[in-house]
Chain A
Amino acid sequence: MMAETGLAALWLAAALSLLQLVLGAMALRPSPAADGEAEALSRAIRPVAVAQALLVGLAFLLLIQLFLRTDLSVELVAANSHSLKPWLYKFAGAWGNHEGSMLLWVSVLALAGAAVALFERRLPERTLIATLAAQAAIGLGFYVFLLFASNPFRRLDPPPVEGNGLNPLLQDPGLAFHPPTLYFGYVGVSIGFSFAVGALVTRNVGPAFARAMRPWILGAWIFLTLGITAGSYWAYYELGWGGWWFWDPVENASLMPWLATTALLHSVTVLATRDSLRAWTVMLAVVAFSMSMVGTFLVRSGILTSVHAFAVDPRRGAFILVLLALYIGGALALFGARVGTVKEGTTFEPVSREGALVLNNLLLTVLLGLVLIGTLYPLATEAMGVKVSVGPPYFNAVAGPVALALVVAMAVGPVLRWRRDRLKEAARRLAIPLAVTALALVLVLALAPRLSVLELLGLVLASGVGVASLAPLWGRNLRRTPLFTWGMVVSHFGIAVSLAGMASNAAFTQERLVAARPGETLMVGPYAIRFDSVQPVVGPNWTAIEGQLTARRGSHDPFVLRPQSRAFFTPPTETSEAAIATRFDGQLYTVIGKSDAAGRWQLRLWWKPFVTLIWLGGAMVAFGGFLALIGRVRRARRARDREEAWA
């Protein structure tokens, strides 16, 4: 019964999204005679958006309930769950598969549409209607996809005695958090896209549009940042390879929308404040959403092989490809046809805040292009019959220098004035950071003379940029500084913190890969690690070989690490659970592998100085975005209250 209710709710939601699209199209029809009719139609569109969100939300809750009960008569539950699974993974398992994750996607999309319908007051009415209609068009495609090609509520008759279980790599608390976070981000980006389409349709691109769009972009960007940071940490501790970024197609699929959204966030600020970069901002909004769709497509269709391809199916790939062609092709065609009629706004000097933001946008776009080329290159060459794999050597070499240049622009931009500035004065404002950079250069060269250029620049710039990012606060009354300025400072500082972690990890990590017998002592970094013993352990749905390692640093108290090599029974898979000890100055990361015939065990030991800064920085970036969002929303509300007081 529950599954049938869910399916019915999904059908109704799909019908409402069609209604929302039709209402929008009719209200926007250019027919001056039917003015009253258009108004009536536009009044109906908001409640429809809200009702649609309620229905699809209901469908999603019902799916979760089916997973919690392990209702094996539902095909999706039988294929992905198991009665022995801990409840958290039953719960998270609802979206740890293709159908469930698509339902989550469309639910979040509808919720976001409802939020726009309920709370958006600043956009001109016609643009809002066009936006909601665009949002409905996106939703409709995904409803069709769910209902016809990936129905999550399909019954299985007769039901099996037991389910297949969930991919063990996904049996991790991170799963409950990581995909929904990224989806909120992707969907938020889709709102930016709908705003852009709405603005193109109604030819209304200007500061008011930018101010209305900004909080949504900011919200999406916060979620994307959190999702990428969490995903990076998940890959770091769960895959047991000791790396925090692998340039895997799925990682790139989340990085590319983030780069585009970061660029959009900055260009939208220029548009809101100075009324420049109109066409460019619209283009970025389209690109950001295109990147998240292309990423989803590449991963879900199995066109690119990836460690993340949990749910691959070429037939579904074809379906998503058609959706891609409709949405992105449609938006780009609209862009080509309409943007020529969007007048360019005001102009500015190259040395100015706008100039720095344009440079930031160009660098971000170049970075995006480089990642996109690296991700698609294997596809292009394979079409010509040559197989290649593009990995870290390409990405680090090409993206590293651009990213460092970007960080410099990030440090300089905020101290420049709008419209026009003098280089000499800007340099004076940056005197302290420049001195810190020079000092750091001398220190690093003296203490660690054998670093590569990128590692050296990373360490040096992290310190200089870290100081420079605080510059906008100097000489200001800190209690009267607007919250969004604080947000910018915190985010920029977070980037410097993260960069410091990356550079330190790259420059100073020590690795040991050894075959050891119990009783041996191994040295890595400042630690002496004794390999005590190996014993079997049993979990709820796995067995494991657990190594016991005692680590001691100088004369400090020793502590025990227990890395495991786990074997799951349903489905039968092996994973390695790293044991990680976090200290303020880094992490000790240990992995146990197979044994050989002679009783030796594969041990991998890493000492990674300050590696945690990478994710701490990421969290700070997101927190800065959060501060800025609160600041913007509060200011907008205050402005509205003032207007209402006047009226």
Chain B
Amino acid sequence: MKRFFLWLPLAMFALFLVVVAGKLRQPGDATIRSHMIGKAIHEFALQPAVPGRAGLSASDLRAGRPRLINVFASWCIPCRAEAAQLEALKRRGVPIDGIAIRDRPEDVAAFLRENGDPFDRLGADPRSQVQFALGSSGVPETFLVDGRGIIRLQHIGDIRPEEVGEIYAAWERAK
């Protein structure tokens, strides 16, 4: 029995070699795509991120019209850069809801005062639970959900000015 233990380190190391050698043959892709694209969103109900606003729940996303969900945070600097593009989409008639990740109400309120407020509903996700359920791994990310609550598109990172048209077209198609 004791003999066996002496070979254990070697066995563990061999296992490590196998996994790593397999990994070397197929170098990874650093972006994390949601597994949820094409699937219906899970049930959730979020408290409002700012007192007095409407919170966000899964049923709001099945109301018959496609909408964008913007996953953001007041502490996230690219989210500030993206604000103007969200405004532009809003002006073109795209309804947008927001989910504030790991945030404080007063910080979210200040963020909206400074950077504009394109959101119809605004949920707070203090522990990233809904964020992870959507298949999002960071901020900002934007999801297009069609009128039946099915995720059609995931946009990772801030929306650049040149990407507004693309996202608008996807929203049109989802109608």
Contacts and interface: CB of A to CB of B under 8 A. Distances in A.
Contacts of A333: 10
A30 interface: no
Given A383-B22, A596-B80, A336 B7 contact: yes
B19 A340 contact: no
A376 B20 CA distance: 10
Contacts of A290: 13
Contacts of B9: 283, 286-287, 332, 335-336
Interface in A379-410: 379-380, 382-383, 387, 389
6 contacts: A303-B24, A324-B17, A336-B7, A376-B16, A379-B20, A594-B77
Given A317-B24, A329-B14, 19 more contacts: A287-B9, A297-B20, A303-B23, A318-B21, A328-B13, A332-B10, A332-B13, A335-B10, A336-B7, A336-B10, A376-B16, A379-B20, A383-B22, A513-B75, A515-B80, A515-B114, A597-B84, A602-B77, A602-B80
B32 interface: yes
- Measured as residues with beta carbon below 8 angstroms from the partner, the interface class of chain A is 35 or more
B12 to A, nearest CB: 9
B13 A389 contact: no
Interface string A301-339: 111010000000010011001001100110011011001
B13 A305 contact: no
Given A329-B14, A515-B80, A321 B6 contact: no
A294 B137 CA distance: 28
A597 B116 CA distance: 13
Contacts of A380: 19
A389 B30 contact: no
A314 B24 contact: yes
B28 to A, nearest CB: 7
A593 interface: yes
Contacts of B80: 515, 596, 602
A340 B28 contact: no
Interface string B49-67: 0000000000000000000
A372 to B, nearest CB: 10
Contact of A321 (B17, B77, B81): B17
Interface of A: 283, 286-287, 290, 294, 297, 301-303, 305, 314, 317-318, 321, 324-325, 328-329, 332-333, 335-336, 339-340, 376, 379-380, 382-383, 387, 389, 513, 515, 593-594, 596-597, 600, 602
B3 interface: yes
Contact of A336 (B6, B19, B21): B6
B115 to A, nearest CB: 8
B159 to A, nearest CB: 16
A321 B21 contact: yes
The 6 closest A-B pairs by CB, nearest first: A332-B10, A336-B7, A336-B6, A332-B9, A387-B32, A317-B24
A302 B28 CA distance: 9
Contacts of B28: 303, 305, 382
Contacts of B6: 335-336, 339-340
Nearest to A596: B80
Contacts of A305: 28, 30
A379 B13 contact: no
A340 B81 contact: no
Contacts of B24: 301, 303, 314, 317-318, 321
Nearest to B23: A303
A382 B22 CA distance: 11
B27 A321 contact: no
Interface of B: 2-3, 6-7, 9-10, 13-14, 16-17, 19-24, 27-28, 30, 32, 75, 77, 80-81, 84, 114-115, 137
Contacts of A321: 17, 20-21, 24
A336 B6 CA distance: 5
Contacts of B20: 297, 303, 321, 379
A592 B68 CA distance: 32
Contacts of A314: 24, 27
Contacts of B27: 302, 314
A594 B81 contact: yes
Given A336-B10, A340-B3, A383 B32 contact: no
A593 B3 contact: no
A48 B30 CA distance: 47
Contacts of B7: 336
B23 A383 contact: yes
Contact of B23 (A325, A328, A332, A382): A382
A335 B12 CA distance: 14
A379 B16 CA distance: 10
Contacts of A332: 9-10, 13
Contacts of A515: 80, 114
Contact of B10 (A317, A329, A382, A602): A329
Contacts of B3: 340
B17 A325 contact: yes
B77 A383 contact: no
Contacts of B21: 318, 321
Contacts of A387: 32, 137
A287 B12 CA distance: 12
Nearest to A330: B10
Nearest to B114: A515
A380 B12 CA distance: 13
Contact of B77 (A297, A318, A593): A593
A456 B126 CA distance: 24
Contacts of A287: 9
A81 B125 CA distance: 47
Contacts of A340: 2-3, 6
A388 to B, nearest CB: 9
A340 B4 CA distance: 11
B166 to A, nearest CB: 22
Nearest to A337: B6
Nearest to B32: A387
Contacts of B75: 513
A428 to B, nearest CB: 39
A329 B12 CA distance: 10
A76 B137 CA distance: 37
A383 B19 contact: yes
B135 to A, nearest CB: 10
A146 to B, nearest CB: 20
A383 B9 CA distance: 21
